[in-house]
Amino acid sequence: MFLALLLVFIVTCLSVLVLSGIRENQRTMLEQSFAQQAEAANLRVREEYLSGGRIPPDQFMEQTGQRLAVDLGAQSGMAVTLYTVDGSFAGTSLPFQPRADVQDALQFTAQGQSAYITEGDQLLFLAPLYNADQRLGTVQFHASLAEQNAFYARIRQLFLLAGAIVLGVGFLIGYVYVRRQVSVIARLNRATSQIGQGDYLSAPSVIRKDELGELAQGIYDMSSRISTSVGALHEEKQKLIETVGRLRELEQQQKQFIGNISHELKTPLTSIIAYADLLAMYSDDPALLDDAGRRIHVEAQRLYGLVEKALQLSAMDVYEFETQAEAVPLRPLLEEAVARLQGKADNCRVTIHTSLVDGEVWADPENVMHIMLNLLDNAIKYNRPGGQVHLLNYTAASADGTHRMIIEVTDTGIGIPEDAVSRIFDPFYTVSRDRSRASGGTGLGLALVRNLTEKQGGTVQLVETGPDGSRLRVELLLHAFGSERIIYTPNDEARNE
């Protein structure tokens, strides 16, 4: 089809160009002939005008127009019609020939220009007549284009016949040739599809001494090389997948490590800043100065230890704090957490109330301390001036029969919007940008609390929230009590089971 379209295009272009050349040549020769006839007619009319008396051009054309038209028709061999300056009929060499409507053409001759009018095989040529700069009228020649049109039609038929013959022969030859080439290409295509499906070649699919034969040999060589390389590539791919997985895991550990260490460092810094503010506010209180100095020293030591630990873990490419569970007396730990944040609570005008009972949990003490510091810090930070924070703990039996230590932190703060309750434990999620910007929150505190609690085998949940405050509950595994289990509830005295 492509060859056929190409041949049609070539023959059509050649035909159009040649026929256009013939038409242009006919037009040029006709224009030259008409120009000569118009010049001869102008000379004859001017001689007649000059030989007569000096009369107006319209009167001259009315008196001599018919005679001049007959003379010019005999001289040129064509029918001639003369018009006056104002476009009126003056005479014709063929009085029985119907007159054509040439008013539009006469407007051109009135401006000194020639004009053509074509009607079928008839051509009318109109030219102005002058005596020097004086216009005498218009001459019109009647010519027949029948002979020229017949010649043009014969040439066009010859081109159509020759084009059809060339198209048929060329298409037949091209079809046979392309058919053979397409057959070879189809075999090569089947060979490449076979390679693509993993069925490699045992011999070249085409044997020829031309470019297609070289291509077939190249495909066979490529098949052999691919066959020997696929195994190695598969092994490299598996190694790469493992490496990428390890890098992603390491990246995730690094992100989590940065968030964890940031919160670990933030907590003692918060206590140091709070007690430093108290020193500035109550510089005349020796007891407070002594207690604040001791607290600042303790928190600074803890901060230094955290930095040392982070540097050691980073040097070993370990991005997770170790968890070492042990029996942890909970009440002293909770009292210590409250003491560390007491300075911040005083600055925020928040009162911390405790209702604590004794009991040991099986957990990492540093992790438990960090959990409580985060929860208490949030309860203070998002509270109202003059608000309260309640911290209590008790033991209770869970659904699986084990006993757990329950720790609850309740505040009288601003609460959490309903649409944010399901996401407060997600990493980097903050309830609102304005709220996190005002308090310095990063959205990692509660996510870290959940992560550390789950490492201890416990759980953390938001029990209730509203415009009057929120209550969060942490459950940790109890250390073995022996044969007697004592359950403490928030509002009841201890009772034996």
Tokens 């803890």 correspond to what residue?
A: 302
The answer to whether the beta carbons of residues 292 and 340 sit under 8 Å apart is no
- Specify the pLDDT at position 262: 67
State both tokens at 177: 């040739």
Q: What would the DSSP string read from start to end of 160-214?
A: HHHHHHHHHHHHHHHHHHHHHHHHHHHHHHHHHHHHHTT---SS-S---SSHHHH
- Specify the pLDDT at position 440: 44
- Residue 417 phi, psi (nearest 5): -60, 150
The answer to whether the beta carbons of residues 141 and 118 sit under 8 Å apart is no
CB atoms within 10 A of CB 25: 10
Answer yes or no: is pLDDT of 497 > 70. no
CB atoms within 10 A of CB 491: 7
Exposed (0-12), middle (13-18) or buried (19+): which is 89, by Cβ within 10 Å? Answer: middle
Kindly list the distances between the CA atom of residue 301 and the CA atoms of 266, 297, 305, in Å, as whole numbers in the listed order: 14, 6, 6
For residue 306, the SS3 value is helix
Nearest to 69 by CA among 140, 120, 123: 140
Distance between CA atoms of residues 33 and 267, nearest Å: 111
- Specify the pLDDT at position 389: 95
331: part of which helix (H) or strand (E)?
helix 330-347
Query: What's the order of all strands across the beta sheet hosting 388-397?
Result: 351-355, 388-397, 403-411, 469-477, 459-466
- Length in residues, the chain: 497
- Report the pLDDT averaged over residues 89-109: 81
What value does the mean pLDDT of the chain take? 79
For 161-193, write each residue's pLDDT tens digit. 887 888 788 778 888 888 888 888 888 888 888
- Specify the pLDDT at position 481: 41
Considering the chain, what percentage of its residues have pLDDT values greater than 70? Answer: 85
Distance between CA atoms of residues 324 and 366, nearest Å: 9
Nearest to 72 by CA among 136, 130, 142, 124: 142
CB atoms within 10 A of CB 54: 7
- Residue 123 phi, psi (nearest 5): -130, 130
Distance between CA atoms of residues 227 and 202, nearest Å: 11
Nearest to 318 by CA among 249, 262, 368: 249
- Report the pLDDT averaged over residues 436-448: 55
- Specify the pLDDT at position 487: 39
Contacts of 380 (CB under 8 A, 6+ apart): 341, 344, 345, 348, 350, 352, 389, 411
- Specify the pLDDT at position 305: 66
Contacts of 52 (CB under 8 A, 6+ apart): 60, 64
Nearest to 450 by CA among 462, 436, 468: 462
Confidence band of 311 (pLDDT split at 50, 70, 90): low
For 237-284, write each residue's pLDDT tens digit. 888 888 888 778 767 766 666 666 666 676 777 778 877 777 777 777
- Report the pLDDT averaged over residues 112-137: 84
Go through the domains of the chain in sequence order and give each one's CATH number: 2-153 (3.30.450.20), 324-496 (3.30.565.10)
For 133-169, write each residue's pLDDT tens digit. 788 888 888 888 888 888 888 888 888 888 788 878 8
Kindly list the distances between the CA atom of residue 462 and the CA atoms of 193, 361, 403, 468, in Å, as whole numbers in the listed order: 61, 21, 20, 14
- Specify the pLDDT at position 406: 93
C-alpha angle 241-244-245 in degrees, rounded to nearest 5:
85
- Specify the pLDDT at position 163: 79
- Residue 416 phi, psi (nearest 5): -120, 130
- Which of 44-53, 240-249, 300-309, 431-440 shows the lowest mean pLDDT across its residues? 431-440
